[in-house]
Amino acid sequence: MSKKVAFLDRDGTINVDHGYVFEIGGWEWCEGATLGMKLLQEAGFTLAVVTNQSGIAQGLYTEADMRKLHEHMKRLLLEEGVEIAHIAFCPHDRNQSDCDCRKPKAGMAKQIEANIGPIDYAASWIIGDKEADVGFGKNVGTHTALLKSDYWQADTLKDKPDFMAASLFEAAKEIVIRNA
């Protein structure tokens, strides 16, 4: 049976984007993020993180550094009753042409599906703060929620999201209403 998945961007969606966050000391939750994830989980969504991590290719941090931070995040979430089924990441540089996993490309969705099983993309959502997140959703066939950020302007968006929200928590509330 296929799962409905809430694909969640990491930096700027789950945690405050301080630029290349890779150390536990630099981790700061976005306000209401944990509660938003809990709402989605209680509504029957499997939670998965999809995150571009070009800092690895740039030599700013290692894959092991990133994995340590992800384990920390998952531990904190489990304490709140929230389970992340899988974290997919793209370690490649923004300009690497042979990469098929950097959002908005669909490679991370394939990574998630390989780990959790079949996904009902038409019933799934992506929540993120960048236009690439919306593009990812369009490329894999999910609904899209774009969080307000300094990374885009509404009048210049190439791909229009299903809706815009102030935070992961606000997006989760709207998704739950739409899926009721």
Tokens describing residue 147? 């969080």
Give the pLDDT confidence score for residue 165 in this predicted structure: 97
Active site residue 11: yes
Rounded percentage of the chain residues whose pLDDT exceeds 90: 89
CATH number for the domain spanning 106: value is 3.40.50.1000
Give the pLDDT confidence score for residue 32 in this predicted structure: 96
Active site residue 17: no
User: Which parts of the chain register pLDDT below 50?
Assistant: none
Q: pLDDT by residue (tens digit) across 116-153?
A: 999 999 999 999 999 999 999 999 999 999 999 988 88
Catalytic residue selected from 11, 17, 129, 133: 11
Closest CA to 68 of 13, 110, 24: 24
Q: What is the pTM of this model?
A: 0.95
Catalytic residue selected from 9, 17, 129, 133: 9
Domain that holds residue 131: 5-178
> What's the structural domain count of the chain?
1
Closest CA to 29 of 6, 12, 53: 12
